Chains A and B, each alone.
Chain A
């Protein structure tokens, strides 16, 4: 048990729609990261938040955005969904920016 909870577990959306994925981290975990894992591939870093501010970003367009809240919850928002956005989205948290990550089970997003 990692203490990282993601919701929903599965989601189906239509191209062009917007989606919000949610993550709840362990108390005291000030860093939250989001990864996209396409089928058959390794996770790709989307962005990281530290104490509610974006701390780093991977090679993803601005339609991928996030929020981190003081209660150790966070959101990943994706606008204007494309078919290629279909993937498993992983949330990971850690106490600080140097500790190993604790991953949630992910949200599987299907865009049709």
Chain B
């Protein structure tokens, strides 16, 4: 069975600070990796995804993530956060054919203006 761990449950940053959210997964085979964001009162939205190829993937709103296969990690980064980045961030993986996702527990990010 696959699992996803997000070690930071709550993160508080000031605007312009750099962000890195950790994500580690457990699965021995080929994986597809995702980061989703949930802004207050809104639906889950896809930030970025990794299927294959360049392990550094760029997503929307200036976010990027790096897939490190040897570390089973897919950390999310942003060089300079904004107040509008306040949201909950979820890492997800699917290791089976298809798009049935296993999510991590989420990281709640608060950006202080």
Find the B residue at minimum CB distance from A94.
B99
Counting chain A CB atoms within 10 Å of each CB, the highest count among B4, B46, B98 belongs to B98
Q: From DSSP, what is the main secondary structure of chain A's interface residues?
A: loop
**B103 in the interface (beta carbon within 8 A):** yes
**B101 in the interface (beta carbon within 8 A):** yes
| Residues A42 and B98 in contact in the complex (CB < 8 Å), given A103-B43, A103-B44, A104-B43 | no
| Residues A101 and B98 in contact in the complex (CB < 8 Å), given A42-B90, A43-B90 | no
Nearest CB on B from A51, distance (A): 13
Find the B residue at minimum CB distance from A99.
B99
Tell me the bound Cα distance from A19 to B20 in angstroms: 40
> How many residues of A are in contact with the other chain, CB < 8 A?
27
The proximity string for B residues 1-37 relative to A, scoring 1 for CB distances below 8 Å and 0 otherwise, is 0001010000000000000000000000000001010
| Residues A98 and B98 in contact in the complex (CB < 8 Å), given A41-B106, A104-B43, A106-B43 | yes
- B residues less than 8 Å from A105 (CB atoms): 42-43
> How many residues of B are in contact with the other chain, CB < 8 A?
23
- A residues less than 8 Å from B44 (CB atoms): 43, 90, 92, 103
| Residues A55 and B98 in contact in the complex (CB < 8 Å), given A2-B43, A41-B106, A90-B44 | yes
Nearest CB on A from B7, distance (A): 13
| Residues A42 and B99 in contact in the complex (CB < 8 Å), given A4-B43, A100-B34 | no
Taking a contact as CB atoms under 8 Å apart, the answer to whether A33 and B43 are in contact is no
